[in-house]
Amino acid sequence: MRRKIIAGNWKMNKTRDEALQFIYAISEKLPSLDEVDSVICAPFPLLRTLSKRQGENLRIGAQNMHYADSGAYTGEISADMLTTIGVTYVIIGHSERRAMFNETDETVNLKLKKAFEKGLIPILCVGETLEEREKGHEKKVVKAQLEKDLEGLTKQDIEHLVIAYEPIWAIGTGRTATSEQAEEMCAYVRKVVKDLYGQVADKMRVQYGGSVKVSNIDEILSMPNIDGALVGGASLKAEDFVKLVEAGVNK
Ligand code: 13P
């Protein structure tokens, strides 16, 4: 059985003091990593503060990284900078970065390769816009993203990869995909990866993301192909984050 993975994506939220308050509030309350993987993906300046205090039941992730080892890339962060301060995960290709910061499938692919080379676990985000869904193109769009994003990875990479299916129309809108829509697309993500990489796709974890909250997570996680959630807004409150992670313990 695939262990569930609940990841909070804080986006551009929280100061250091707020992050400290959060981590002290959750540290005694999270279930163990044997039961569920819990991850906080925080802004860069908070990563060291959080990783020092992460304890045995939480892992820390970044929200982006560069694909080069080092060099003249003003404002960018390398994989080594992350691993050496205790970061385990990195979100790659979030739709906000694709839409606002020129992230392309080509850069996503380079970043995934670099993350695996350096021992980070990437959480790759894919998903369609509202317009694409209304035209019935959601599968075509997600398939094209996956084929380009995953090109040249190994089966071993795929085993450790986490993919978050995040329909853009459900992000921050309060408009969650129905659990059936989410399941259909997460199953489709697995099928596309299986066509590319074979049976190892059954070991890979696929999350749903988009307006997940305490009131809907149980239903979403009850679906057979949904192995967790990538949560934005609802991950900012300590007590809600604990409840979201608790929902991921396999019953
Ligand atoms: P919300 O949970 O705020 O809709 O954000 C989802 C998301 O983008 C997580 O990466």
Per the confidence metrics, is the pTM higher than 0.75?
Answer: yes
**Rounded to whole angstroms, how far apart are CA atoms 203 and 209?**
19
Task: Domain count for the chain, please give it.
Answer: 1
Determine which residue's CA is closest to atom 7 belonging to ligand 1: 232
Determine which residue's CA is closest to atom 1 belonging to ligand 1: 232
Residue 251 forms part of a structural domain: no
185-191 contacts, C-beta under 8 A, 24 or more apart:
185/138, 185/139, 185/142, 186/223, 186/225, 186/226, 186/227, 187/224, 187/225, 188/139, 188/142, 188/143, 189/126, 189/142, 189/146, 189/163, 189/165, 189/225, 190/225
pLDDT averaged over every residue in the chain: 96
Mutate to test the pocket of ligand 1, among 90, 91, 129, 171 (most ligand atoms within 8 A of CB): 171
Question: What is the position in ligand 1's atom list of the atom closest to the CA of 164?
Answer: 10
DSSP 76-128: ---HHHHHTTT--EEEES-HHHHHHS---HHHHHHHHHHHHHTT-EEEEEE--
CATH number (domain holding residue 168) = 3.20.20.70
Q: For residue 251, is pLDDT > 70?
A: no
Task: Tell me, in angstroms, the distance from the centre of ligand 1 to residue 48's CA.
Answer: 23
Q: Can you give the residue range of the structural domain that contains 33?
A: 5-246
Structure tokens at 156: 């071993």
Kindly report, residue by residue over 127-166, the tens digit of the pLDDT.
999 999 999 999 999 999 999 999 999 999 999 999 999 9
Angle at CA of residue 120, ends 206 and 20, nearest 5°: 90
Kindly report, residue by residue over 157-214, the tens digit of the pLDDT.
999 999 999 999 998 887 888 999 999 999 999 999 999 999 999 999 999 999 999 9
94 is catalytic: yes
> 100: closest CA among 28, 12, 174?
12
Given this model, what pLDDT does residue 176 score? 81
- Residues whose beta carbon lies within 6 Å of some atom of ligand 1: 9, 94, 166, 171-172, 209-212, 230-234
